[in-house]
Amino acid sequence: MAHQIPFEPRDRTRPLKTFVSPKERVAIETRAQAAGLSVSAYLRAAALGARLTSVHDQKAILALLQVNADQGRLGGLLKLWLVSRAGVGAGPGEVRRLLHDIETVQIQLRALIDRL
């Protein structure tokens, strides 16, 4: 969820009842399960305007964050190579292009993560 619901769990002592059709109940239960929440927590979050993300979205975000971290490590290794092996291997133009490509991919990954 994008933001936390501002109520203490211990304050949750009053039930709220609503009537739904069997089809609606299945749909709500399915969505709650996809969000990794109980039906009660799902309905509370939805009613209070919390941003709900599915478990699959959360896993995708984690995977993108890991790729972003790998890109950062790759850039760090490239910079380390430049310092320790200056003048050996690729020319300055190619190195600048590689650094630029890594930075571009990181920016794109961050944009994707922010949209999820």
Instruction: Report the alpha-carbon distance of residue 17 to residue 7 in Å, rounded.
Output: 19
Contacts of 37 (CB under 8 A, 6+ apart): 45, 52
Q: Which tokens sit at 90?
A: 């690729």
Span 62-98, pLDDT tens digits: 888 888 888 888 878 877 777 777 667 667 777 788 8
Q: Look-up: residue for tokens 């203490």?
A: 8
Region 39-49: mean pLDDT is: 87
Q: pLDDT band at residue 8, thresholds of 50, 70 and 90? A: low
Top pLDDT among 31 and 53 is at: 31
Say if residue 99's pLDDT is above 60. yes
Most confident of 18-27, 55-64, 73-82: 18-27
Contacts of 58 (CB under 8 A, 6+ apart): 36
CB atoms within 10 A of CB 114: 8
Q: Which tokens sit at 72?
A: 């950062």
45 CB-contact burial (10 Å; exposed 0-12 / middle 13-18 / buried 19+): buried
Q: Look-up: residue for tokens 């944009």?
A: 111
Give the predicted TM-score (pTM) of the model. 0.47
* Run of H or E residues at 22: helix 22-35
